[in-house]
Structure 1
Amino acid sequence: MFASSLPSTLPDRKKKTLDRCLMGVDVLDEHRLTGIQKTTLDRCLMGGDVLDEHLLTEILRRLPLKTVHQCKSVCKGWLSLISSPYFMKQYVGFHRSVTLMSSRYSLAFDLREALYSSNRLRISGCASSSFRSLKFFFDFYPKPEYGSLSYFDLVGSCNGLVLCRQLFRDAFIDDKEPKQHYYHVCNPVTRDHWILPPPPLLSYSEATAHDHVAFIDDGVEGEDDDFSVTRGFKVVQLDGKCRGGTLNMSIFSTSTGEWRPLKVLCKEPFNFLYDHVVVVCCNRMLYWVGWLSNFVIGYDPYTMPNECTYIKFPSQYVPKKHRGTTIGANQGRILLCDYDLRYPQEVLRIWELEPETESWYLKHQVELNSVPMLPDRATYRILAFHPFIDGDIVYLEEAIDRIDRILSLDVKNKRIQVITVSLLENDVSCHAFPFFLPWWQTRLSDLKNLNEANSVNQSINAQGL
């Protein structure tokens, strides 16, 4: 069905792609081909012989996911095979047997070298060798339209897709009127991206660097989650303040291809603390914490799109200016971390939410000055929880003597691991988002084509044709 032959002469670019594929086969022991398979492949490459579907599948399914998608450019036959549901099931079935579940989870770090400068967005952070070898850098992005006047930062991720925001430098300088910014959804494996339509401007603060955005998966297609792909996503843009009992939002959906403004009912007022607050997605709901609030705010864009819900903090926790609060998700559970920033009372606590009773129980408590290799008089900010390991590992930013470090802290065993080190005068901010590498990748071109088809159908229906 998918019998494919390689042309006798390939362009140099495609030859290099194929060479990388074959190098990838030899790297991983569990992915090695048999001697007969290698001999057959070599004969095919030298003489342009036909590769039957079974042998080609056996070869390609052993390659790393990123390399497989690069192989689509070798020839039309390979593109057809790799894009088929048949190959997807064969690939997932093979790698599921040799890949640990935990190695599919990591963190996406946004490290900005200097204000207004280009970013080095990268996906890193966990000890998984598979993520280190993928080298997820966003060098495939087009150069900003206005040259050095714009840059990208990372604002969210879901199911293997990453949401980036394009900001413009004059948005920070000229305060006479709000400046427009743009959102880009990209897949770092397939190296394609989708520039979303310009979002509506919610307020002045949201038009600059301090908007708050959530990125949520619409669900997957397929009977088995392992053999499924994303069928769509939503981008939720939130105003920085709850004013007069309502919160202004705008929601972009792939089903419509448009932003829809909303006024959401909020029973309790709250403010965001600039851009340090991350909106967390868990079980298709959004959660965040306001500045000096004593509750977690929840929002369900699917079943309760017109109202926010509230979950009170643990009774032992009293929000104060010198205490930090970070919310996160771990294997479908909401975690809350509070930490005292005053030296030497640097205490970190992790709470877990019981969803049925909406009550919290204390999971961990540790004094930071008792952790070996953590220096005295440093300041800390909790960035994220490990997205897979059972709530025992947090990632924090440490600043001391003009040196900034990103650390992984095992709070149960009081062990740290240094992720990256930089100078404070260069790095101005860092955010971390859970990143999940699905068994198979969502092609943004497919979602865009589906969106365009839906738009045409809606236009036809509106005209009564």
Structure 2
Amino acid sequence: MSSSSRTRTKAPRSTRIRRNYGISSSSSANIVADLDDVLLQILSFLPIKSLIKCKRVSKRWRCLITNPNFSNPIISSKHPLPISGLYLQGTRRDIEYRFVSLDDEVNEQLSLPSSPLRFVDHPTPIVIMQSTNGLLLCKCTCPPNHFNRNFYVYNPTTKQKTLLPQIIDHFAVSLAFDPSKSPHYKVFCLKRTSTSSVSSVLYHLEVYSSNEGPWRRLASLPSFALPHTVTGLSNLSNTVFWNGAVYWFWFGPHSRDCLSFDINTEEIKTLPLPFLDHEEYPPDVGTLRFVEESRGNLYFIEVNDLSSSDLPVYEMNRNGSSWFLKYHVDLETLAATFPEMIRTEYYTYRRIYSFSIIGFVKGETDVESYIVLHIPNKAVKYYFINKTFKKLCSFEPSQDDDDDDDDDGGDNFYGFRRSFQFIESLANV
């Protein structure tokens, strides 16, 4: 046989490889699919924070990670998700927020300057109303009529948002989202019943569901009256989703209660807040209150005596019927390290503590649980069990802040107006 014949009968190298491994060119699509399956299996073991970084590798990786068939089970399996940071709302008329990371790897960081939060396609800043398991409930004014509002559900991690259908004559709004039970969220709106009279005002609930669409009234829940102590919309601005129920808290000169709605049983009830030592005296306008959900637990803190070094923390029991004393914070130990906390009240000349509460983080164990306090010009973590603390970050005033009007503390007991959890999440909105 000639050399040319031997050359023609010798198969190309690529063909020999495919024959040796039993692979044909027609199965190349299956190879890619198998590789995706392997990649998804590997990615499923990564924490949410690492998955977010992996989205930047390529468009293909981003598509795989953001696919609901992957992201929903991952979010559910990793619930409850850890709190990564806090959005802090300033006290100025212009709505501005600072962001503070809770990452221990960032040592004595400097918080980001105050700035408005905006959507690129909306002309006015957004206002955060509630944070729930990685999603934010927000509202924006709608120029030229600033009495109109747009409401959004927003994932700050993925930058995705959904505009809710228009809400008319709402009294209070609350977001409910539990990724361990469902990838879908619900928004509840408390509204005045149109047939109610002036002498007997009744209310009802409407719900928007991310998988069912427009607002609908809950037919199973009859109209109901609110306690007479609820006198305005701002009284119900503090809302929390916990243990399958939404809670609206209101605080007045003679009331300390919350309204709860159980999503599963569709029952509504009024729950009193903890009775504190100073209950014989009505809380004054300087009372500091803080309500927060963390890792499946609900906490309440109230401070009416600024001269007391003891800061009690209450936790609600699992059936949602009562509160019990869970932790104590010793402010004196903090003041020994940060003497700028000590002030003299100008009209009584008594010694008081200058601070506000901006966060509560329930760890996997009690030893890892801590509270985040804002003291003049800085934020600190205080661990409940071992009574230790560490400086978390420093604050610098905004460029337009005056020396006598600093939204970061100074003589202002309240510090930041409100705080909202930032939780990294791949949840689709």
**In the alignment, structure 1 residue 73 sits paired with structure 2 residue 37:** no
Return the alpha-carbon distance in structure 1 between the equivalents of residues 45 and 271 of structure 2. Answer: 47
RMSD, aligned CA: 4.5
Contact 1:326 1:338 in 2 (8 A): yes
Other-structure match for 1:8: none
Give a deviation string over 1:411-431, Cα, whole Å, max 9, x none.
Answer: 440524333413264648442
- After TM superposition, the score normalised by the length of structure 1 is 0.59
**In the alignment, structure 1 residue 376 sits paired with structure 2 residue 350:** no
Residue from 392, 399, 405 that aligns with 1:418: 392
Contact 1:113 1:427 in 2 (8 A): yes
Note the 1:29-428 alignment, pairs <5 A.
Answer: 53=35, 56-57=39-40, 64-70=50-56, 73-74=59-60, 79=63, 83=67, 85=69, 104-112=82-90, 115-116=93-94, 119=96, 122=99, 124-127=101-104, 142-143=119-120, 145-146=122-123, 150-167=124-141, 179-202=147-170, 213-217=173-177, 219-220=178-179, 225=180, 230-236=183-189, 244=200, 246=202, 251-260=207-216, 263-267=223-227, 269-271=229-231, 274=234, 278-287=238-247, 288-303=249-264, 305=266, 307-314=268-275, 316-318=277-279, 319-321=282-284, 322-342=286-306, 344-356=307-319, 358-371=321-334, 372-374=336-338, 375-377=341-343, 378-388=353-363, 390=366, 392-398=369-375, 400=376, 403=377, 405-412=378-385, 413-423=387-397, 425=405, 427=407
Offset at residue 235 of structure 1 (A)? 4.3
Contact 1:200 1:259 in 2 (8 A): no
Structure with the higher fraction of residues in helix conformation: 1
What is the aligned residue count? 348
Return the alpha-carbon distance in structure 2 between the equivalents of residues 238 and 422 of structure 1. Answer: 41
Return the alpha-carbon distance in structure 1 between the equivalents of residues 157 and 276 of structure 2. Answer: 44
Instruction: Give 1:397's aligned amino acid.
Output: H
Offset at residue 311 of structure 1 (A)? 2.9
Seq. identity, %: 14
What residue ranges of structure 1 are gaps of 5+ in the alignment?
1-49, 172-177, 207-211, 445-465
Other-structure match for 2:427: 442
Return the alpha-carbon distance in structure 1 between the equivalents of residues 371 and 422 of structure 2. Answer: 15
Instruction: Give 1:83's aligned amino acid.
Output: N
Offset at residue 179 of structure 1 (A)? 0.4
Return the alpha-carbon distance in structure 1 between the equivalents of residues 58 and 190 of structure 2. Answer: 35
Return the alpha-carbon distance in structure 1 between the equivalents of residues 256 and 235 of structure 2. Answer: 19
C-alpha distance 359-55 of structure 1, shift in aligned 2 (>3 A): closer
| Structure of greater relative contact order (alpha carbons < 8 Å, 6+ residues apart) | 2
Return the alpha-carbon distance in structure 1 between the equivalents of residues 125 and 199 of structure 2. Answer: 31
Q: Which has the larger radius of gyration?
A: 2
Contact 1:337 1:349 in 2 (8 A): yes
C-alpha distance 255-275 of structure 1, shift in aligned 2 (>3 A): same
Give a deviation string over 1:347-379, Cα, whole Å, max 9, x none.
Answer: 311122334593433223344234233321153
Note the 1:442-461 alignment, pairs <5 A.
Answer: 442-444=427-429
Give a deviation string over 1:253-310, Cα, whole Å, max 9, x none.
Answer: 3244333568543355335794895212110212324223554313115246563322
What residue ranges of structure 2 are gaps of 5+ in the alignment?
1-30, 193-197, 344-352, 409-415
Return the alpha-carbon distance in structure 1 between the equivalents of residues 127 and 321 of structure 2. Answer: 34
- After TM superposition, the score normalised by the length of structure 2 is 0.64
Contact 1:159 1:436 in 2 (8 A): yes
